[in-house]
Amino acid sequence: MVVGTPGLLAARGLGYRPGMASSPARSLETFPNPEPGRDYTVRIRVPEFTCLCPKTGQPDFATLDLEYVPDGLCVELRSLKLYVWSYRDEGAFHEAVTNRILDDLVRACAPRFMRLTAEFNVRGGIYTTVVAEHRAPGWQPPPRVDLP
């Protein structure tokens, strides 16, 4: 466990840093793919996604599972956290918000493949799961290898 004042933590390169963004943002940052010559999968789980039901204004909660094969760029996780947070007070249908998030991520990093699965918690006795995918033109996944 790391303890200390914000100034001490910042001096050690840990925790709080002055000027660090701490509010929702719709921008997504990227960084260069460290292995652009290789197909590999990045899996990110976001267990605390929230938005509002556009009909009732009640909160909707979901777990977002993002899987992608990067091309030239990867998604920077801090900006993804702030981006997801920006939906907290926005009314959105599950299908619409899932596809919008996928579109924004694809626009930001142009992956070879990306799949976003949004598993929404129960609302009115109904669970909703929305799966949206993007595949770059001409990209084919490598053959699956099943080990014994």
Fold of 23-135: GTP Cyclohydrolase I, domain 2 (3.30.1130)
Name the residue with tokens 């998604």: 75
Task: Evaluate whether 37 touches 76 at the Cβ level (below 8 Å).
Answer: no
The pLDDT score that the predictor gives to residue 27 is: 92
Give the C-alpha distances (Å, rounded to integers) separating 133 from 23, 42, 86: 28, 14, 22
Q: Any idea which residues carry the catalytic annotation?
A: 53, 60
The pLDDT score that the predictor gives to residue 3 is: 44
The pLDDT score that the predictor gives to residue 120 is: 97
Q: Which two tokens stand for residue 66?
A: 């993002």
Q: Given a cut of 60, is residue 6 above it in pLDDT? A: no
- CA angle in degrees (0–180, nearest 5) for 78-82-86: 165
Task: Evaluate whether 120 touches 129 at the Cβ level (below 8 Å).
Answer: yes
State the pairing for strand pair 113-123/126-135.
Answer: antiparallel
* Span 18-40, pLDDT tens digits: 555 578 988 999 999 999 999 99
Domain residue ranges of the chain, discontinuous segments joined by +: 23-135
Which percentage of the chain shows pLDDT scores above 70? 86
Q: Given a cut of 80, is residue 104 above it in pLDDT? A: yes
Task: List, as one string, the DSSP characters of 84-145.
Answer: HHTTTT-B--HHHHHHHHHHHHHHHH--SEEEEEEEEEEETTEEEEEEEEEE-TT--PPPP-
CA distance 143 to 132: 22
The pLDDT score that the predictor gives to residue 9 is: 45
* Span 112-141, pLDDT tens digits: 999 999 999 998 899 999 999 999 999 998
First to last CA, the chain: 40
The pLDDT score that the predictor gives to residue 96 is: 97
Please state, rounded to an integer, the average pLDDT across all residues of the chain: 89
CA distance 64 to 45: 6
* Span 57-93, pLDDT tens digits: 999 999 999 999 999 999 999 999 999 999 999 999 9
Instruction: Kindly report whether the global pTM for this prediction surpasses the value 0.85.
Output: no
